Amino acid sequence: MADETPIPKPRSNFIRDIIDEHLRTGRFATVHTRFPPEPNGYLHIGHAKSIHLNFGLARDYKGLCNLRMDDTNPETESMEYANAIKEDVRWLGFDWDDREYYASDYYQQLYDWAVVLIRKGVAYVCDLTVDQVREYRGTVNKAGRPSPYRDRSVEENLDLFARMRAGEFPDGSKTLRAKIDMASPNMLLRDPLMYRIRREHHYRTGDAWCIYPTYDWAHGQSDSIEGVTHSICTLEFEVHRPLYDWYLDQLGVHHPQQIEFARLNLSHTVLSKRRLLELVEGGLVSGWDDPRMPTISGFRRRGFTPEAIANFADVIGVAKDNSIVDLPLLEMCVREHLNRTAPRVMAVLRPLKVVITNYPEDRVEEFDCVNNPENAAAGSRQVPFARELWIERDDFMENPPSKFYRLSPGKEVRLRYAYFIKCDEVVKDAAGNIVELRCTYDPATRGGDNPPDGRKVKATLHWVSARHAIDAEVRLYGTLFTVRDPASVAEGIDWKATLNPKSLEVVKDAKLEPALASAVPESRWQFERMGYFCADRRNSKPRALVFNRTVTLRDEWTRLVSSGRENK
Partner RNA sequence: UGGGGCGUAGCCAAGCGGUAAGGCAACGGACUUUGGCUCCGUCAUCCGGAGGUUCGAAUCCUCCCGCCCCAGCCA
What is the footprint of RNA within residues 110-139 (CB under 7 A)?
Answer: 128-130, 133-134, 137, 139
Binding mask 3-42 for RNA (x = CB under 7 A): ---------xxx--x------------------x-x----
Q: Which of 273, 414, 524, 529 is catalytic?
A: 273
Instruction: Give the footprint of RNA on residues 455-494 (CB under 7 A).
Output: 459-460
By CB under 7 A, is residue 373 in contact with RNA? yes
Kindly give, in sequence order, each residue whose CB lies less than 8 Å from that of residue 568, ignoring residues fewer than 6 positions away.
402, 403
Q: Which stretch binds RNA (CB under 7 A): 104-112, 402-410, 468-476, 540-548?
A: 402-410
By CB under 7 A, is residue 78 in contact with RNA? no
User: Cβ of residue 550: shortest distance to RNA, in angstroms?
Assistant: 13
By CB under 7 A, is residue 405 in contact with RNA? yes
Which H or E element spans position 161? helix 154-166
User: Cβ of residue 315: shortest distance to RNA, in angstroms?
Assistant: 5
Instruction: Give the footprint of RNA on residues 330-349 (CB under 7 A).
Output: 332, 335-336, 339, 344
* CB burial of residue 53 (10 Å; 0-12, 13-18, 19+): buried
Q: Which stretch binds RNA (CB under 7 A): 196-204, 288-296, 358-366, 473-481?
A: 196-204
Of 464 and 504, CB closest to RNA: 464
Q: Which stretch binds RNA (CB under 7 A): 93-101, 250-258, 310-318, 516-524?
A: 310-318
Instruction: Give the footprint of RNA on residues 58-77 (CB under 7 A).
Output: 70, 72-73, 75-76
DSSP-assigned beta bridge partners for residue 257 = 230
User: Cβ of residue 548: shortest distance to RNA, in angstroms?
Assistant: 18
C-alpha–C-alpha distance, residues 457 and 407, integer Å: 10
By CB under 7 A, is residue 366 in contact with RNA? no
C-alpha–C-alpha distance, residues 372 and 352, integer Å: 26
Helix 241-251 and helix 107-119, axial crossing angle in degrees, nearest 10: 80
| Count of positions (residues) in the chain | 568
Number of CB atoms found within 10 A of residue 435's CB: 12
By CB under 7 A, is residue 182 in contact with RNA? no
Q: Which of 343, 381, 399 is nearest to 566 (CA)?
A: 399
The sign one gets for the Cα dihedral 270, 273, 276, 282 is negative
DSSP secondary-structure letter at 229? Answer: S
Strands 412-415 and 420-428: antiparallel
Torsion over CA of 246, 248, 249 and 251, rounded to 10 degrees?
Answer: 120
Of 402 and 433, CB closest to RNA: 402
Of 242 and 521, CB closest to RNA: 242
Q: Which stretch binds RNA (CB under 7 A): 116-124, 370-378, 422-430, 500-508?
A: 370-378
Of 235 and 544, CB closest to RNA: 235
C-alpha–C-alpha distance, residues 228 and 242, integer Å: 18
Kindly give, in sequence order, each residue whose CB lies less than 8 Å from that of residue 178, ignoring residues fewer than 6 positions away.
117, 122, 123, 191, 192, 194, 217, 243, 246, 247
Q: How far is CA 352 from CA 118, 409, 443, in A?
A: 78, 14, 23
Instruction: Give the footprint of RNA on residues 199-238 (CB under 7 A).
Output: 212, 214-215, 219, 235-238
| 3, 95, 151, 374: residue in contact with RNA (rule CB under 7 A) | 374
- Whether 533 and 519 have beta carbons less than 8 Å apart is answered as no
Of 278 and 521, CB closest to RNA: 278
User: Cβ of residue 263: shortest distance to RNA, in angstroms?
Assistant: 9
Instruction: Give the footprint of RNA on residues 489-518 (CB under 7 A).
Output: none
- Whether 426 and 398 have beta carbons less than 8 Å apart is answered as yes
Q: Which of 34, 38, 165, 179 is catalytic?
A: 38
Active site annotation includes 273: yes
| 6, 24, 62, 140: residue in contact with RNA (rule CB under 7 A) | 140
User: Cβ of residue 431: shortest distance to RNA, in angstroms?
Assistant: 26
Instruction: Give the footprint of RNA on residues 158-177 (CB under 7 A).
Output: 171-173, 175
C-alpha–C-alpha distance, residues 554 and 526, integer Å: 12
Q: Which stretch binds RNA (CB under 7 A): 201-209, 282-290, 302-310, 409-417?
A: 409-417
Binding mask 534-553 for RNA (x = CB under 7 A): -------------------x
Active site annotation includes 263: yes
Q: Which of 47, 51, 84, 81 is nearest to 66 (CA)?
A: 51
Tell me the CB-side half-sphere exposure of residue 448, using CA atoms within 13 A. 18
User: Cβ of residue 286: shortest distance to RNA, in angstroms?
Assistant: 26
DSSP-assigned beta bridge partners for residue 112 = none
For 81-209, where are the E strands, in sequence order?
100-102, 123-126, 175-178, 193-197
Instruction: Give the footprint of RNA on residues 429-448 (CB under 7 A).
Output: 447-448
By CB under 7 A, is residue 193 in contact with RNA? yes
Which H or E element spans position 437? strand 434-442
User: Cβ of residue 448: shortest distance to RNA, in angstroms?
Assistant: 2
Of 353 and 446, CB closest to RNA: 446
Q: Which of 16, 86, 99, 263 is catalytic?
A: 263
Q: Which of 62, 38, 58, 37 is nearest to 48 (CA)?
A: 37
- Whether 494 and 524 have beta carbons less than 8 Å apart is answered as no
Binding mask 260-289 for RNA (x = CB under 7 A): --x----x----------------------
Instruction: Give the footprint of RNA on residues 313-332 (CB under 7 A).
Output: 315-326, 328-329, 332
User: Cβ of residue 32: shortest distance to RNA, in angstroms?
Assistant: 19
Binding mask 235-254 for RNA (x = CB under 7 A): xxxxxx--------------
* CB burial of residue 130 (10 Å; 0-12, 13-18, 19+): exposed
User: Cβ of residue 365: shortest distance to RNA, in angstroms?
Assistant: 13
- Active site residue ranges: 38, 263, 273
